[in-house]
Amino acid sequence: MDLESRLELVKGVGEEVITEAELRVLLQANEHPTAYDGFEPSGLAHLPFGVLRPILVEDMLKAGVRMKLWIADWFAWVNNKMGGDLDRIQDVGRYFVEVWKAAGVDMSKVDVLWTSDAVKNDEYWKKVITVAQNFTLARAQRALTIAGRTSKEAVQAAQLLYPMMQVADIFWLDVDICQLGLDQRRANILAREIAEKLRWKKPVAVHHHMLIGLQGKKEPEGFDENGALDSEIASKMSKSKPESSIYVHDGSETITRKLNSAYCPPRVAAGNALMDYSKYIIFKKLKTFRIERPEKYGGAVEFTTYQELEGAYLSGKLHPADLKKGVAVALDAIIAPIRDHFETDPAARRLYESVKAAETTR
């Protein structure tokens, strides 16, 4: 694949790339740069993790990027996920890997790594301490929003380790690209600053879009000084909030019910949950998006691009009720292979039942 095609693939993954010029130089010099995507194992997999992230990983792999999947079990422990039970957290980690397999990710091309293995190594902690020596307590507290904690929340002392460890991970894993959500921006910016200061390898940051929750756009809640970014983080679909999420285990009736109550104002695309799922999931997974309608309302209609769909919706030619029905059918078809895997594979089913039974805490 030529340079421009590879560049467009990686740029398509990111809603923000810091910086595009550095990314071009990296891809030009290295046919197989390394990127990482990390997650806290907690709760049941929802659309952002179980569907969107595999789409993004597949595009990174197509561009020749070697992916490292960082299962941040100790981060979830520090962040009191799954009741602070590390064994349960690690069960969720194994379940999440199974979700990616079911979603079609070629796991033979992905290195699966665990924080719990890294912490056994003294050199890892040297990285963490070195990073901690190079930014202030105030900066660490501001960066805690990467753990899903707003600036207004009281935090435990242990949680101050979170940003220091996340920044250190980037250098420990020796990656060229940090491929994380926009809500992880603070950690990646810190890593770039520290890399310049200590003359370590400076990572390119590719921040992907955060899917909107079913409730639509929300007001800023204290995640960032930038009001637009703060609102985007506050609005994201959160697996710890069932009322805002669609899970990969939801059946067609549940998906339809949830979407029928989702925020979807007529003739409005911005902040519209249904348009968001269409743009970032449906048009990335399906060649055409077909929406069935009664003949008296124009009959079935097909779209081949998001721009076509948006134009029809903004003009009023497509009604919210029809959009909801179409998105429900499309998402059900996309989720079905993942859902079916956990229903038919005994080992996967046991993992799912274990996670489902566990108490999920923030």
The tens digit of pLDDT for each residue in 190-212 reads 999 999 999 999 999 999 999 99
Residue with tokens 């059946």: 251
The vertex-126 CA angle with 125 and 132, nearest 5°, equals 90
CB 194 within 8 A of CB 2: no
Cβ pair 229, 185 in contact under 8 A: yes
In whole angstroms, give the CA distance from residue 207 to residue 8: 14
CA nearest neighbour of 262 among 331, 196, 308, 167: 331
pLDDT in tens, 344-358: 999 999 999 999 988
Average pLDDT of span 187-191: 95
pTM summary value: 0.91
Handedness of CA 236, 241, 242, 247 (dihedral sign): positive
Per-residue pLDDT averaged across 260-284, rounded? 96
Give residue 251's pLDDT: 96
Residue 88 has pLDDT above 60, yes or no: yes
pLDDT of residue 360: 47
Domain spans in the chain, listed from the N-terminal domain onward: 3-208, 241-357
pLDDT at 359 over 60: no
> What letter would DSSP give residue 211?
P
Q: State the pLDDT confidence band at 281, using cuts at 50, 70 and 90.
A: very high
Write the pLDDT tens digit of every residue in 35-73: 999 999 999 999 999 999 999 999 999 999 999 999 999
Query: In terms of C-beta density within 10 A (0-12 exposed, 13-18 middle, 19 or more buried), how is residue 200 classed?
Result: middle
How many helices (H) and strands (E) in the chain? 18, 8
Q: Is the pLDDT of residue 174 over 70?
A: yes
pLDDT of the residue at 362: 37
pLDDT per residue as tens digits for the range 219-246 = 776 777 777 787 888 889 988 788 789 9
Residue whose pair of structure tokens reads 């669609």 in the numeric block: 246
- CATH number attached to the domain at 3-208: 3.40.50.620
- For the four alpha carbons of 255, 70, 73 and 14, in that order, the dihedral sign comes to negative
CA-nearest of 234, 78, 43, 88 to 155 is 78
pLDDT digits (tens, 9 = 90+) for 122-158: 999 999 999 999 988 888 888 887 777 765 666 788 8
- Give the end-to-end CA distance of the chain in Å, rounded to a whole number: 43
Cβ–Cβ < 8 Å for 185, 205:
yes
* Banded pLDDT at 102 (limits 50, 70, 90): very high
DSSP symbol at 279: I
Query: Which carries the bigger pLDDT value, residue 322 or residue 361?
Result: 322
Fold of 241-357: Tyrosyl-Transfer RNA Synthetase (1.10.240)
Contacts of 129 (CB under 8 A, 6+ apart): none
Name the pLDDT band for 361 (thresholds 50, 70, 90).
very low
Lowest mean pLDDT among 71-75, 158-162, 273-277: 158-162
Secondary structure of 60-78 as H, E, C letters = HHHCCCEEEEEECHHHHHH
The mean of the pLDDT values for the chain is: 92
